[in-house]
Structures are given as structure tokens and as C-alpha cells.
Amino acid sequence: MLYFIEQCLNGIQLGMLLFLLAAGLTLIFGIMDLVNLAHGSLYMLGAYFAATFADWTGSFVLGAMLALAASLVAGMALEVIAIRPLYGRSHLDHVLGTFGLLLFFNELVRLIWGPAGMTLSLPSEMLNAVQVLPGLYYPIYRLVIIGVTIAVALLIYVFVMRTRLGMLIRAGASNREMVGALGVNIKLLYTLVFGLGAALAGLAGLMQAPILTVQIGMGENILILAFLVVTIGGIGSIRGAFVASLLVGLVDTFGRAFVPDLLHQHLSEAAAASLSRGLSSMMIYLLMAVVLVVRPEGLFPAATR
């Protein structure tokens, strides 16, 4: 039972990390109708910023906050310089343009920080496990990730649903011209949304940096998962992204944790070994296939946002 709870926590934690990445992606896609492959680059930048600033300041928390601000600025600058010409073009142009940006950022990071990658060390008080339940130890930092992400999810919800700016963003999503005609500076609004998405990606990057890695191209694999989450959750829906992230996180973790043992009980050793490896890495894609068959628009289609 404790083992089951531990694996649930693992799944939730992975889901939370995916949510931070997917929330920005779905926000940009849903509101600005922009397919952004460079989202993974912003995730990478967040991690590199955090590692650099933490080095300079000697403090993890301070470094993280500076990195968050830097990601926001970098995102807004990117929107003004490179993303604006892409609006109103086809999705293929978006993919080509932002894929170019992805290559550009990989090379930029190599030039600035070198090819070896960096380390973002945790403060010693976070570098251990804590007893969650009697007999169940869980890494403190992973609990921190879960906590921070839930807080951020609530903040986004309040911001989009309860503030005037959020209302304008939602209005801009449904009818860009009308909002512009009413005297709202829609260009600035889009820059802001893109910056917000970049900051979320940066946050995801810096939060995972102490567990996973700070290296070139780190955003590319996880971006696939983030797109998966966005597709399952329903394009443009933050709520959908949240639910889908949890689902993907849990399914992926359970696939790795329990599927091999289940197969071992019912199949021969060799068959179970080869099948379980294939199956556990396929689980999340199966999940997406099932969701798309049942609800082609995703779990929470944007209309019900």
C-alpha cells in the first residue's frame, strides 16, 4: 500500500511538471492560435538562467526568482522580434518558423554556456527525503514541486477568470478584431500572453533542473509529452491541461511501476520482459489514442473553457 502511494506521488509529481509546460503551451495555442515548437527552448532557457543566477547569488530561491523574471523578459522579446510576423499565417509556417528558433536557441546556448551542461544544486535542506506517512519517505524537493505547481495553477485560474486582464485575454481569444476595435491594445496583450507562457515554461525548466538536467536540447523530449497533454486536455483549455497532465503523469508512472509485474505473473519470463518494456513506454500514447477516439476534441474542448 505504501508502495502504491509512493508511486502515486511519483506520478502526480511528473504530472505537475508537465502541467507547467503544457499550461504555457495551451495558453499560447488556444489564445494566439500559434503552434510554438520553441516552447521547449524557453524551458531550457529557464533552467540555464536559474543555474547561472543561482551561481551568482549563491541562493537557489533567489536564482529561481531572477530566472523567472528573465524568462518572462526573454519570452516577450522573442514575441516582438520573431513571433509577430507569424500571426495569421498557416500552422505549417508556425512549425517551420518556431523549429528554426529551436535550432537557434540550442546553438545560442552552446555559444554562451558551452556544450557540457550545468548543475543547479539544491540547498542542503531540500536535498533529502521526508517521512510523509509512517514508513513512507519521499524527496522533499518533489513535494515542493507539487506544492508550487498547485499554487501556480490556482494563480493562473484566478488571473484568467477573475481579473480584467484575464477577461481581455479571453475576449481576444474569441474575437481578435472586435477586441482591437474596442480600443484594447491587442498587440501588447499578445506579447503579455506569450511572456506569461514563456515564464511558465521557464518555471518548469528551473523546477526540474535539480532533478533532471540542465543541458542543450533538454526541452525537446519533454515537449512531445507536453503536446500530448495539450491534445488530451483539449487545445486551449487550462483546466484540461491540468487534468491531462495528472493523467499522463500517473499513467506513465504506473506503466513503469506495475505493468512489468503484472505481465510477469501471467507470461513467461522472456516474453514479459520484452513486452513490458514496450508496453510501459507506449501507455501514454495509448491513453491519447483512447481519449481521441472517445472525445476527438480532447477532454475539455476549448468551447467549454
Partner 1 sequence: MIKALLMGTTALALVAGPAMAQQKTIKIGFISTFSGPAAAIGNDMRNSFELALDHLGRKLGGLPVEVVYEDDEIKPEVGVQKTQKLIESDKADFIVGYIWSNVMLASLKPLVDSKTMTVITNAGASQLAGDQCSPYVFSTSWNNDQTPAAIGTYMNQKGVKTAFLMGPNYAAGKDMLNGVQTTFKGKIVGQELTRWPDQLDFSAELSKARAAKPDAIFAFYPGGAGIQFVTQYAQSGLKGQIPLYTAFTIDDLSLPRLKDLAIGVPGAQEWVNDLPNDANKKFVADYKAKYKSSPSFYGAQTYDAASLINSAVTAVKGDLSNKEGMRKEMEKADFKSVRGNFKFGNNHIPIQNFYLQDAEKAADGSYALHTVSLIVKDDQDKFHNQCPMK
Stretch that binds partner 1, among 55-63, 135-143, 162-170, 198-206 (CB under 8 A): 135-143
- Give 57 or 213: the residue with its C-beta nearer to partner 1: 213
Total binding residues toward partner 1, as defined by CB under 8 A? 35
Do 208 and 64 touch, CB atoms closer than 8 A?
Answer: no
Residue 61: other Cβ atoms inside 10 A: 11
Q: Is 129 in the site for partner 1 (CB under 8 A)?
A: yes
Looking at residue 123, what DSSP letter applies?
Answer: P
Q: Which stretch binds partner 1 (CB under 8 A): 6-14, 82-90, 95-103, 235-243?
A: 6-14
**C-alpha–C-alpha distance, residues 62 and 15, integer Å:** 25
Q: How far apart are the first and last CA of the chain?
A: 37
Q: Are 20 and 85 in contact (CB under 8 A)?
A: no
6 belongs to the binding site for partner 1 (CB under 8 A):
yes
Residues 241-300 that bind partner 1 (CB under 8 A): 253, 256-257, 277, 281
Q: Is 132 an interacting residue with respect to partner 1 (CB under 8 A)?
A: no
| Helix or strand holding residue 137 (H, E) | strand 136-139
Please choose, out of 1-9, 154-162, 185-193, 226-234, the segment that lies near partner 1 by the rule CB under 8 A. 1-9
C-alpha cell at 147: 506544492
Q: Binders of partner 1 among 153-212, rule CB under 8 A? A: 210-212
Q: 154 — alpha (psi -120 to 50), left (phi > 0) or beta?
A: alpha
- Give the helix/strand (H/E) hosting 129: strand 129-133
Q: Is 216 in the site for partner 1 (CB under 8 A)?
A: yes
CA-CA distance, 145 to 153, in Å (whole number)?
12
Please state the closest distance from residue 46 (CB atom) to partner 1, in A. Answer: 16
Which residue lies nearer to partner 1 by CB, 3 or 56? 3
- Does 59 bind partner 1 (CB under 8 A)? Our answer is no
Note the residues at the interface with partner 1 (CB under 8 A).
3, 6-7, 10-11, 13-14, 115-119, 121-122, 127-129, 137, 139, 141-142, 210-213, 215-218, 221, 253, 256-257, 277, 281
